[in-house]
Structure 1
Amino acid sequence: MNRRLRGGLALAIVLAAGVPTAARAAEQPCAVLGSSAARCTAGQLADGTPYTFAKPARWNGAVLVDLDFAAGGLTSPLTASLLERGYAVGGTTRTISSWNIARAIDNQAEALGRFEAAFGRARYAIAEGRSMGGMVAAGVAQVYPGRFAAAIPMCGGLGGAVGQWNQKLDTVFTLKTLLFPDAALPVTGIPADVPGTQQQWLTAVASAQSSAAGKARIALAAAIGQLPGWGLTPDGSPTPVPADHDVDGVEQGMYLALAGGPLPYLGQAVSSRRTIEQLAGGNPSWNTGVDYARQLAEAAPEQRNAVRRLYERAGLDLPADLGRLAAAPRVPADPAAVRYLERGIVFTGELRIPVLTVNGTGDQISTVAQQQSYGSLARRTGTESRLRQTYVQTAGHCTYTTGEQQAAIDRMLTRLRTGHWPDTAPRTMNALSAAVDGVAGRYLSFVPPRFNRPYP
C-alpha cells in the first residue's frame, strides 16, 4: 500500500475517534459577505495551522474544505454564493505547511474533523481548492477517499510537484542557456534575495524581448515549457486570444506568460523554487537525459510555427540552438530533495472517489498540459469513469468568475446525490455559470497537449 495512503488511513482513524476537547472551537455567529445567518467555527490544528468554517442556517449536508479558506475566505463572493445555496465551506491556510504538500493534505482531513466536531457529520465532504489548493485537493482524493466523498481541483498542478518543477526547470534552463549564458541568473540554488533575483530575471527577459533574436529564443523556451500563447498585461487585463497563424500575437502571449501580468511565471519559478529548496534541503529538479528538440516537436502547432518563423525572421539557426541545448551541461537533482517532493504527492491515477477538474487554457502557473497527465493516469488505471475534466478560456492563474466555480461545485453535488455524472459539456456549464452571477461563462471544449515531463 502507498505510504501516503497508509498515513492517511492512520490519521483518519484518529479523526474518526474524535477531536480532543481542548482542540475544539464552539460554533458562533459570524459575519460573512452577503449572509447574516451563517455560523462559524475557527481555531488551530495540531501543527498551529489556522482553520475556519462557515455553515448556513439551511445546510444541504455538503461541506467544502479548501487549503486557503482561512486566509480571507469569509469575504469571498464565492463563499456568499455557496452559503446562499446551502453549502458549508471552510478550510485552512498554507502559512505553516507551505510546500510541505503531505502536511497540507493531512491538514485538510484534520480540518474536516474540526468542522464535524462543531457541526455534526457532513453527508458530503468535498476537497476543493485553487492553485496549490487544487494540487492538495487532488492529493486528498488519493490519500483520504474514506473521509472525503469527492474533490474539485481548480487550476492545480496536476502533473505533480516533481513533474511540475522539472518542467519549470526546462523553461528557465533554456532561457539561461540561449539568452544569458554569462549572466548571474540562477536556474536552481535560488539565493535569499528572492525579490532581487526575480527582478533580475524579469528585467533580463524584458530586454531580450526588444530584439528579434530575443523574441525567437523566448518563444522557444516557452514552447518547451508548454506555456500558453496568450496572457495578462501588467494591470491584469487579458490580451486577445491570438489566431494560430498570428506569430507576433502568439509570441507576445508567451512573453507575457513568462514575464508579464500580476503573477509572472518567472517570478513564481524563483520564489517557490527557493522555498522548496529550503524545505527539501537541495534541488529536486533535473534535466539529465531530456531531449529539448523532441519537446519542441511535441509543442502546440501554433507555437512550433511561431518558433520557426521567428527564427527565420531573426536570421538564427534553430537546429544550432537546439544543438547548444543538447550540449549544455545538465542540471542533476539531489536525490533526497526528490524524495521530499515525492512524499508530498505523486499522482497514481487510482481514483476511488469522483474528481472534477477545472483549468484555464491560458494559465501560466499550472499549465494546462498537466491536466493531460492526470487524465492519462486515470485511464491507465481504469478509473477514468470517476473523472471529469473541464476547461475555461481564461488567461492568468485561477482567473475564474464566481459563476464558473459555482457551476463546477453544483455539478459535483449532483454527481454525489445521484451516483451518476450530470452533463458537464461547455454549453451546460456556461448556462449554469451565467445563472449564478449574470456573467457569461467561458467553458469550452479543449484537448490539452501531452504533458512533456510526467513523473514517474
Structure 2
Amino acid sequence: MTTATRTAFAAALLLAATALPTSAAAATGDTTHVDGRLPSGATYLMDVPARWNGTVLLFSHGYTSGPANPAQDAPDDATKALLLQRGYALVGSSYATTGWAVTDAVPDQLATLTAFTDRFGTASRTIAWGRSYGGLVTTAIAERHPERIDGSLSLCGLVHGGVANWNNTLDPVFALKTLLAPDSGVPLVNVGSQSAADAAAGALSAVVDSAQATAKGRARIALAAALHNIPVWNQPTQPRPAPADRDAQQANQYEAVKGLLKVAAFNRRQESEARAGGNMSWNTGVDYARLLGASSVRKEVTELYEKAGLSLRTDLGTLDRAPRIGADPQAVAWMAATSSFTGELTKPQLSVHTVGDALVPVQTESALKRAVTAAGSASLLRQAYTDNAGHCTFSPAEQLAALHTLEDRLTKGRWEGTDAASLNSRAAKADPTTPTRYVPYRPTPYLRPYDLAHPADGR
C-alpha cells in the first residue's frame, strides 16, 4: 500500500473513532436492533440477541451500484434468523459511497465494529465475513487490520484482487470485439461516462446476439467465455448440460457473456476507472493461445470450432496481431494499493466458492492460494467448494457449516473437518431444511493473476 493510501485510511479511521455515530435502538422479541449513522455518512445495522454468545460477525456486503445504499449485517434473511437463534451478534454497514468503494468500506466497517463495542462491550470473538465484493473487503480487513478480528470468512469473494479482476474482465470483451466487430469503435477502456458505458454495452451485446445465430459466431463467443473461465453451467435456472453437449454448454455461456457485458465489462468498469483515475487493466504481452490452453473449458471451444469448420489457430493469431491495450500506471498503482493483496495472513481465513460462478469464477480461489502460498501463510488458509451454479448461491446450511468450521479452527488452533463430507455433515446438522452441496474440488489456475506477493506481475 502506498504512503498516500495508508494516510487516507488512517485519517478515515481516526475520524470514525473520534466523531460520535448516531443511532437508534429497538427491542424486538429477544433481539435488540440498532440503526445508526457514521460520521462518513454510511449507515449501519446491529442485531444482538438477548442471549448473546459473545461472538460478533462483521458482515461486508457486495457491490452496490446505487442510488440505494442500504446497510446489511447478514447475507440473507434465512441465514440471519438462524444466526440470531444461535446467539450471534450481527453487525454491518453500508459504505459511504457506492461502487468500487474499498477505501470507504474498510474504515466504515471498522468504525461500525467500534460503535458496537462502545454500545455492547468487547466481544469474546470477532469474525469478519462477506460475500462477493464483500469478500474483497473482508480480505482487505484480514490483511491490513488483523488486530481487529480473530478470523475471516469469504464467500464467493473477489479474493483475486482488483487488478486481476479488471485484467480478466478485459480479455473476453477484447476477444468479442476483435473477432466479431473489429471496426465497431466500441471503447473497451477509458469509457468516460455511464451513458457511454451503456452505449458500449448495448452495441457489443447486439453484435453478440447476431453472432449467436451462426455456428461460427457461437464458437467465437465460447472462446471469449473461455478467457474468463465462464462455466458451462452458471445459473441455477439453467439445465445442467451433459459433459458432451457442447451446444447446451455454449448456450449457457452465451447468457453469462450477455450478463458480463451488461454489468461488469462497461458500467462497473466506468465507475472503477473514475475512482482509479484512468484505465487500470491491460493486455499487452498476453498470449491468448496460452490462456486458452489453461482454461477450464478449452475442450468445448476446440470442439465447437471444429464443428463450425472454423480455424481456432487463425482466430488466436488474429487476437495476437490485434492492437493491444495499455494501462495507466497511476490507475494500476491505485488499484493495486487499495484492492490487491499481499497474501500475508496472520489470522485464519476460510474461503468458499460455488463451482458454477460466471461473475466471479471459482478460479479466483487459485489466485488467492497463489498469493498466500508465496507469502508463507498457507497454513492459515483453507478453501471449500459447493456444487451449485450461480454467484453466491449458498444455502443457509452451507454458510453456517463454513462459519462453524472456522470457529473450530479458532478454538482448537488447527483446521479440522474442511473436507466435503465433514462440511456436509455439519451443514445438515446446522439446518436440515436447505441443501448441502460441498464437493471435493480443485479449480484450474486463474488466467490473469496479480498480487503483491509477486512483484513482477504485469511489469
TM-score above 0.5, yes or no: yes
Equivalent in 57, 61, 66 of residue 64 of structure 1 = 57
Q: Report the residue type matching 1:29 in the other structure.
A: A
> Which residue of structure 1 lines up, in the alignment, with residue 394 of structure 2?
400
1:77 shift after superposition: 1.4
Structural mapping, 1:227-246, within 5 Å: 227-232=230-235, 237-243=237-243, 245-246=244-245
Equivalent in 275, 278, 291 of residue 279 of structure 1 = 275
Equivalent in 320, 331, 335 of residue 314 of structure 2 = 320
- After superposition, the Cα gap between the structure-2 partners of 1:437 and 1:224, relative to the gap in structure 1 and judged at 3 Å, is same
Residue 82 of structure 1: SS of its match in structure 2? Answer: helix
Report the Cα distance in structure 1 between the residues aligned to 2:107 and 2:43, rounded to whole angstroms.
14
> Which residue of structure 2 lines up, in the alignment, with residue 451 of structure 1?
446
Contact kept, 8 Å, 1:230 with 1:252, in 2: the verdict is: no
Report the Cα distance in structure 2 between the residues aligned to 1:315 and 1:349, rounded to whole angstroms.
45
> Which residue of structure 1 lines up, in the alignment, with residue 257 of structure 2?
258
Report the Cα distance in structure 2 between the residues aligned to 1:135 and 1:305, rounded to whole angstroms.
31
> Which residue of structure 2 lines up, in the alignment, with residue 347 of structure 1?
341
Contact kept, 8 Å, 1:258 with 1:265, in 2: the verdict is: yes
- After superposition, the Cα gap between the structure-2 partners of 1:288 and 1:423, relative to the gap in structure 1 and judged at 3 Å, is same
Structural mapping, 1:304-319, within 5 Å: 304-319=298-313
Contact kept, 8 Å, 1:135 with 1:160, in 2: the verdict is: yes
Report the Cα distance in structure 1 between the residues aligned to 2:4 and 2:79, rounded to whole angstroms.
31
Residue 55 of structure 1: SS of its match in structure 2? Answer: strand
Contact kept, 8 Å, 2:106 with 2:137, in 1: the verdict is: yes
Contact kept, 8 Å, 1:402 with 1:437, in 2: the verdict is: no
Residue 146 of structure 1: SS of its match in structure 2? Answer: helix
Equivalent in 186, 191, 194 of residue 192 of structure 1 = 194
1:23 shift after superposition: 2.2
> Which residue of structure 2 lines up, in the alignment, with residue 148 of structure 1?
149
1:20 shift after superposition: 4.1
Structural mapping, 1:71-110, within 5 Å: 71=71, 73=73, 76-94=77-95, 96=97, 98-110=99-111
Residue 25 of structure 1: SS of its match in structure 2? Answer: strand
Q: Report the residue type matching 2:368 in the other structure.
A: Y
> Which residue of structure 1 lines up, in the alignment, with residue 292 of structure 2?
296
Report the Cα distance in structure 1 between the residues aligned to 2:441 and 2:289, rounded to whole angstroms.
25
Q: Report the residue type matching 2:23 in the other structure.
A: A
Q: State the identity as a percent.
A: 37
> Which residue of structure 1 lines up, in the alignment, with residue 133 of structure 2?
132
Report the Cα distance in structure 1 between the residues aligned to 2:221 and 2:125, rounded to whole angstroms.
46
Unaligned runs of 5+ in 2: 63-69, 451-456
Contact kept, 8 Å, 1:355 with 1:388, in 2: the verdict is: yes
> Which residue of structure 2 lines up, in the alignment, with residue 390 of structure 1?
384
Q: Report the residue type matching 1:279 in the other structure.
A: R
Residue 146 of structure 2: SS of its match in structure 1? Answer: coil
Q: Report the residue type matching 2:321 in the other structure.
A: A
Equivalent in 410, 414, 418 of residue 412 of structure 2 = 418
> Which residue of structure 2 lines up, in the alignment, with residue 48 of structure 1?
41
Contact kept, 8 Å, 2:56 with 2:89, in 1: the verdict is: yes
> Which residue of structure 2 lines up, in the alignment, with residue 206 of structure 1?
209
Report the Cα distance in structure 1 between the residues aligned to 2:302 and 2:277, rounded to whole angstroms.
40
> Which residue of structure 1 lines up, in the alignment, with residue 20 of structure 2?
22
Contact kept, 8 Å, 1:25 with 1:118, in 2: the verdict is: no
Report the Cα distance in structure 1 between the residues aligned to 2:385 and 2:90, rounded to whole angstroms.
24
Q: Report the residue type matching 1:192 in the other structure.
A: Q
Q: Report the residue type matching 2:45 in the other structure.
A: T
Structural mapping, 1:25-36, within 5 Å: 25=23, 28-31=25-28, 36=29
1:153 shift after superposition: 0.9
CA displacement 1:233-282 (0-9 Å, x = unmatched): xxx61331531x332233223222212xxx54642222210111122221
CA displacement 1:94-131 (0-9 Å, x = unmatched): 46153132331222211111111111111211111111
Report the Cα distance in structure 1 between the residues aligned to 2:246 and 2:135, rounded to whole angstroms.
33
Contact kept, 8 Å, 1:162 with 1:285, in 2: the verdict is: yes
**Equivalences, count:** 440
Contact kept, 8 Å, 1:127 with 1:137, in 2: the verdict is: yes
Q: Report the residue type matching 2:275 in the other structure.
A: L
1:62 shift after superposition: 1.2
- Larger mean CA deviation between 163-172 and 276-285 belongs to 276-285
Residue 29 of structure 1: SS of its match in structure 2? Answer: strand
Residue 20 of structure 2: SS of its match in structure 1? Answer: helix
Report the Cα distance in structure 1 between the residues aligned to 2:261 and 2:125, rounded to whole angstroms.
36
User: What TM-score does the superposition give when structure 2 sets the normalisation length?
Assistant: 0.89
Contact kept, 8 Å, 1:350 with 1:378, in 2: the verdict is: yes
Contact kept, 8 Å, 2:246 with 2:300, in 1: the verdict is: yes
Q: Report the residue type matching 2:218 in the other structure.
A: K
Residue 46 of structure 2: SS of its match in structure 1? Answer: strand
Report the Cα distance in structure 1 between the residues aligned to 2:424 and 2:200, rounded to whole angstroms.
41
1:329 shift after superposition: 0.4
Report the Cα distance in structure 2 between the residues aligned to 1:39 and 1:11, rounded to whole angstroms.
31
Q: Report the residue type matching 1:313 in the other structure.
A: K
- After superposition, the Cα gap between the structure-2 partners of 1:328 and 1:278, relative to the gap in structure 1 and judged at 3 Å, is same
1:173 shift after superposition: 0.4
Residue 434 of structure 1: SS of its match in structure 2? Answer: helix
Contact kept, 8 Å, 2:278 with 2:330, in 1: the verdict is: yes
| Aligned residues: CA RMSD | 2.5
Unaligned runs of 5+ in 1: none
Contact kept, 8 Å, 1:41 with 1:115, in 2: the verdict is: no
